[in-house]
Amino acid sequence: MTKQAISLFSKNNLILLLIALLGLILFFGSPLRKKKYAQEGQFYEQVYLESLKYKLTENKKDSIREQRTYVTKSQPKNVIFMIGDGMGLTQISAAEIMAEDSMALERFRHIGLSKTKSTKLITDSAAGATAMSTGQKTHNGVIAMTKELKPLKTILEYAEEASWVTGIVTTSTVTHATPASFYGHQPTRAKVNRQLAAQFMEHDIEVLMGGGINYFNDRDDQRDLLEEARERGYFVTEDVEQIGEYVPSKLLCLISTGQPKRLDIRGNFLPLATNKAIEVLAKPKTNFFLMVEGAQIDWAGHANNSDYIIEEMFDFDKAVAHALDFAEKDGNTLVLVTADHETGGYAINGWDKEKEKLKTEFTTGYHTGTMVPVFAYGPGAESFAGIYENTEIFYKLKHLMGLGNFQ
């Protein structure tokens, strides 16, 4: 063969080989890909099992986890943990666009992303709050219990045990899924408001503010939990403004029968309550842990109501401003702001010139599976940069607060 013939032969061979390869990829590639997606659910399930196993192991393994998630030596004296229920990036973006000044959320410098799934891809608020308050993924609807329905000690309960003073503030009833997941333990969130109120009374939580007074004083067991609270030293009121300058050592402020109303009725409750809670908790000069929830961002998302979302975001952001103002002055307080999940599949599609408002759309009346932001300020804030499971928030907090086995 001549030199030319050889090179022509190998070129043809090469082309044939490439065609054959392409055929193979097209033939086998797509079923393989399909199989991979089909296994993804299984994969997630496996991750949960692994992480559950992880937590059941001895302290030695926990300390490995600790090294992985903990990047700072500074310990906060106080922690203010704020949850915008249903607050995804679009909810924040919409408020940021509509705000006249910059938002308090823009003051944070350490920001991370939290993966929100429960044992289902789409979490509910009970499993979402339980992940953050106990470090375990559980079934939707379960309040601070494992998948096997065993009670789990919450970050607030660890804090109480270590003699921190503690508090809870929310714009929902105080027995709603998110606040309840910090002090209650129930296999289902449905129809257990009165049981949860009784479980609250088993604790010594210094501040409780929100709705649902009827779950305390209108009960089948004839107990009047408001009277019991008074006897135990709580200042009990139905109006946050009525407290005025007074700083009691314990405070029970229940502003409504059932759920609190929208902003036009409930007024400045959330920012005022956040301020008052901080005053009460900071008074004894010991460590404090406060959980604050902007609950109705979620309800606005369920209602697919963009105006309602923005209104609630502004209200929540005012509470965040108060927390940050205190933390800046105090110098020893960690402020953490995050969400349990996004609600509504909310999107901003442009600007409506006629209505002078955002053009928005929703993909669902329920929650979505998107990651949510985590904003951190203060000692230990660096630990919250990065992308991680929502359960990690518990471990990071527990470590930073020097609680439990990590001491």
- Active-site positions read 125
Residues contacting Zn ion: total by CB under 5 A:
4
What φ, ψ does residue 79 adopt, rounded to 5°? -130, 125
342 binds Zn ion (CB under 5 A): no
Q: Single out the segment in contact with Zn ion by CB under 5 A; choices: 243-251, 275-283, 337-345, 369-377.
A: 337-345
Least distance (Å) from Zn ion to the CB of residue 129?
7
Least distance (Å) from Zn ion to the CB of residue 157?
21
298 binds Zn ion (CB under 5 A): yes
Q: How far apart are alpha carbons 284 and 164 in whole angstroms?
A: 10
Cross-strand partners of 87: none
- Cβ distance 83 to 340 under 8 Å? yes
Least distance (Å) from Zn ion to the CB of residue 158?
23
For Zn ion, give the closer residue by CB, 179 or 248.
179
160 binds Zn ion (CB under 5 A): no
Angle between helices 3-56 and 59-69 (to 10 degrees): 120
- Cβ distance 229 to 251 under 8 Å? no
Q: Which residues of 79-111 are buried (b: 16+ CB within 10 A; e: fewer)?
A: bbbbbbbbbbbbbbebbbeebeeebbbebbebe
Residues 6+ apart with CB under 8 A from 83: 129, 132, 178, 291, 292, 293, 294, 337, 338, 339, 340
For Zn ion, give the closer residue by CB, 237 or 343.
343
Q: Single out the segment in contact with Zn ion by CB under 5 A; choices: 37-45, 90-98, 333-341, 399-407.
A: 333-341
Among 293, 317, 340, 389, binds Zn ion (CB under 5 A): 340
Among 116, 125, 193, 237, binds Zn ion (CB under 5 A): 125
For Zn ion, give the closer residue by CB, 116 or 237.
116
85 binds Zn ion (CB under 5 A): yes
Q: How far apart are alpha carbons 335 and 21 in whole angstroms?
A: 56
- Cβ distance 84 to 316 under 8 Å? yes
For Zn ion, give the closer residue by CB, 206 or 342.
342
Q: Single out the segment in contact with Zn ion by CB under 5 A; choices: 2-10, 147-155, 265-273, 334-342.
A: 334-342
Catalog residues that contact Zn ion under the rule CB under 5 A: 85, 125, 298, 340
